[in-house]
Amino acid sequence: MSACSNYLFLPKKSFPVTPDAAQLLYEDIYIDSTDGQQLHGWKIYSEKKKAGTILFFHGNGDNVSTQLPNTFWLAKEGYDLYVFDYRGYGLSQGEAELDAVISDMELMVSHVASEISDDEKLIVMGHSLGGAMAIYSVAHSAYRHRIESLITIAAFSDYHDITQDVLAKSWLFWLFQWPLSYTVDNSYRPLDAIGLISPIPVLIIHSKNDEIIAMYHAERLLEAAKEPKSFKLVNSGHNNVFTGKENRQVLLDYLKTLEN
């Protein structure tokens, strides 16, 4: 499995910035996986009166630090924000493998659920690979009753297809895109899981200009999802969806509907 996971996970260790650079209060969090690996994350405190709690799962080439430009602003808008690094990323121990990371995500959901009040629910968000894994995680979570909504940003629908899409862009791997794509574990296929999430509301966000994850992935996920579901088409690149005010407002407008 580890060889297959090399196509999916690109662990990043360096921390170029911490939340205090944006004048945000935060604390380090450490949780232990079921096989004894220590996983690191941050709780970033809301700067305003608390509107909700968000658990965010980053993409395959990020970590809790490098994804901050896409997430820190949520704390400034009234949301407590939890972000964790997968195995091998940042300060988290171990080696990232899909089945282990999916298992770890349930522990992260459990941890956040235990920290918020019994009458509060958490919002799960995921970008790219984080969104794809979050679909499966939420669909099969023992804490579904504590989840208010799932929001995916630039998520893909199928591990074989996204591997083939990426390899097809490389002249070196173009001829091998089909056989290599089938070396990736597809048993956590988002397209099979998203229909199981209902009645938890799902929001799918995708950019028409995403240079990595093609629009057909979002379209397939939207079709497979059951109500209540929403789709928002935005304008950005793959990794800078929320660096601009317009796209931030799209998300804020949706989050406000959850408060009602």
Average pLDDT over residues 113-118: 96
As beta bridge partners, residue 145 has: none
Locate tokens 């509107």: which residue? 51
pLDDT band at 8 (very low <50, low <70, confident <90, very high): confident
Domain 2-259 has CATH 3.20.20.190: no
Size (the chain), residues: 260
Answer whether residue 78 shows pLDDT above 80. yes
Average pLDDT over residues 211-233: 98
Do the beta carbons of residue 155 and residue 126 sit within 8 Å?
A: yes
Answer whether residue 167 shows pLDDT above 90. no
Secondary structure of residue 76 in the 3-state scheme: helix
Task: Name the percent of the chain lying above pLDDT 90.
Answer: 85
pLDDT digits (tens, 9 = 90+) for 33-42: 999 999 999 9
Which amino acid is located at 190 in the chain? P
* Rounded CA separation 92/86 (Å): 6
* Rounded CA separation 40/212 (Å): 27
pLDDT digits (tens, 9 = 90+) for 182-218: 466 689 999 999 999 999 999 999 999 999 999 999 9
Do the beta carbons of residue 213 and residue 206 sit within 8 Å?
A: yes
Average pLDDT over residues 68-96: 97
Do the beta carbons of residue 71 and residue 127 sit within 8 Å?
A: no
Average pLDDT over residues 31-59: 97
The residue that leads in pLDDT, 160 or 203, is: 203
Burial environment of residue 51 by CB neighbours within 10 A (0 to 12, 13 to 18, 19 or more): middle
* Rounded CA separation 39/84 (Å): 7
- Quick one: tokens of 33? 């996986």
The DSSP line for 46-82 is -SSS--EEEEEE--TT--TTTTHHHHHHHHHTTEEEE
Average pLDDT of every residue of the chain: 92
Do the beta carbons of residue 55 and residue 109 sit within 8 Å?
A: yes
Stretch among 2-6, 110-114, 250-254 having the lowest mean pLDDT: 2-6
**How large is the angle between the packed helices 129-139 and 98-115, nearest 10 degrees?**
70
Q: What is the pLDDT of residue 165?
A: 79
Answer whether residue 256 shows pLDDT above 90. yes
Answer whether residue 166 shows pLDDT above 90. no
